[in-house]
Amino acid sequence: MRILTGIQPTNNLHIGNLFGALIPATKLQEEHELFMMVADYHAITTLKDPKRLTENTLFTAAAYLSAGIDPARTTLFVQSSVAAHTELAWILQTIARMGEANRMTQFKDKSQTGAEKAPVGLFTYPMLMAADILLYGTEGVPVGEDQKQHVELTRDLAERFNRDFGETFLIPEPIIQSNGARIKSLTEPEKKMSKSAPSAKSYILLTDEEDMLAKKIRGAVTDSEREITLDDERKGLLNLITIFSLCTEYTKEEVSERYQHSGMKVFKDDLVMALNQYLAPIRMNMQEYSDDRAGLLEVLQTGNEAAEMIANQYLKTTRERIGILRP
């Protein structure tokens, strides 16, 4: 099965990106054909700093490698390097309906300051994402819960295109983890952990060192109850138990049973230790990969070429199907 996913290089990556998409992708590459993309054309809908865009693009690729993406078996590439993405995105914009695009909750969230001032690209972004997915005959898309709606839109667009112009695209499925698909903010546990959150205390970055992890976890909002229990209503605690289970292989039930009577302090201290043990090797790799700029560029160039060959083939068929003349 072909799998594709991507992360926007808007900022440093956080553990929501890691547990929701990146780690699942590293596991999927063992049995499937994986396309792992740095979604830089998505990032420019919000990031307007050229230097940071370049650096973050390299940094995101380094994060993929550090978490275990293996370029020998996976195609690691940069979205903007394959021109077919924006071309198919345009075609899909002529297929998608305003009503559909209007229903995308992420646009509503991200344009909170007012849709009037939001870039048009933020509105049409799901069609670019659909193009990313459809250009590779992708069947599975590992993403966090917040991207599920975009994959569903992709399915609808593919089905409509196939119906109107003949079988062209495979219909992709979102692959959502049962644990880790929605890591919450540490400071406002009813919201998801997000790179664009105003407070840096609300997220944990892949690069956070132990003392920073300790500060953030100790400051994480929980509640005044003493016992550690698994309770959907105790959102802050549930989030910490989830993170604990993700970085240890214990189930959430095992974590809560183990710490039931230990008190919040011991629980949080052990979580810091477990999280640090989990992130330390990734942090170290990150340093190494980031220092080897030439090596990173070479991996990306190879990936870009491989991706382009496949994407161009799909684009060619799509153009033919809709009657585009190439004299």
Does residue number 40 form part of the binding site for ligand TYM (CB under 6 A)?
Answer: no
Determine if 182 is a binding residue for ligand TYM (CB under 6 A).
yes
Q: Work out whether 7 is an interface residue with ligand TYM (CB under 6 A).
A: yes
Other Cβ atoms within 10 Å of 187 Cβ, number: 19
Q: For the CB of residue 169, give the shortest distance to ligand TYM in the complex, in Å.
A: 14
Torsion angle, alpha carbons of 5, 9, 12, 18, to 10: 0
d(CA 256, CA 242): 10
206 binds ligand TYM (CB under 6 A): no
Output the smallest distance, CB 256 to ligand TYM, in A: 20
Taking the complex as a whole, the smallest distance from the CB of residue 205 to ligand TYM amounts, in Å, to 13
d(CA 276, CA 284): 12
Q: How far is CA 169 from the centre of its chain?
A: 23
Per-residue contact string for residues 95-134; x = within reach of ligand TYM by CB under 6 A: ----------------------------------x--xx-
Tell me the three state secondary structure of residue 208.
Answer: coil
Q: What is the DSSP string of 220-265?
A: ----S--S----TT-HHHHHHHHHHHHTTS--HHHHHHHHTTT-HH
Q: In the complex, which residue's CB is closest to ligand TYM?
A: 20
The Cβ-side half-sphere exposure at 283, using a 13 Å CA radius, reads 16
Which sequence positions are flagged as catalytic?
A: 110, 192, 195
Q: Measured from the CB of residue 221, what is the shortest distance to ligand TYM in angstroms?
A: 15
Binding segment (CB under 6 A) for ligand TYM, from list 1-9, 252-260, 267-275, 306-314: 1-9
Interface residues with ligand TYM (CB under 6 A)? 4-8, 16-17, 20-21, 39, 42, 129, 132-133, 141, 143-144, 146-147, 181-183, 192-193
